[in-house]
Structure 1
């Protein structure tokens, strides 16, 4: 984001707020799906474990489904950004007088960071 030092408060605090605020929704959806799946499919998991599967092998289908559900908000936001809606950060930069291309570039970086934060946070 071209800030020196990278932790300068005027950029670091808003970016961390956007990342944490948006990734919480995805992580919550993923954990909810995982817990519901473990509860509903406990017999299958116990069967896998009794036949010698590792924890990872027994939980892999549930983790895949949960990760898919966790990424839904991020993917939906990325699919409409710039075409249907102009996100708040980009709008604020344009109204504040920043270059439109720079505002779009910053918004793309933030959208990808949100997706990465959700993926790493759920993983």
Structure 2
């Protein structure tokens, strides 16, 4: 995640931990700064050997493919134009702990 989604990712991480599933949350507030880092640093944050990745982004999925890879998934906006309180919109568009957990489990099952 890049911002407000990080707390949602941490909630999902804690839920998965209850089931003995160990996942790591990475906050990436600026893709450009991350991409400018050394290959060794990027490998330490997003190891190539870890292919089960989920990006949680309250915007379009554009650009996240290079981080989640072919085996990963995204929980992102699939449409626009809704207006309501943020909590209702997050639920409507799938930004819930339950959906992030479900998405992560589906990636782990691949």
Above 0.5 in TM-score? no
Q: Which has the larger radius of gyration?
A: 1
Higher helix share: 1
Q: Answer 1 or 2: higher relative contact order, Cα 8 Å, separation at least 6.
A: 1
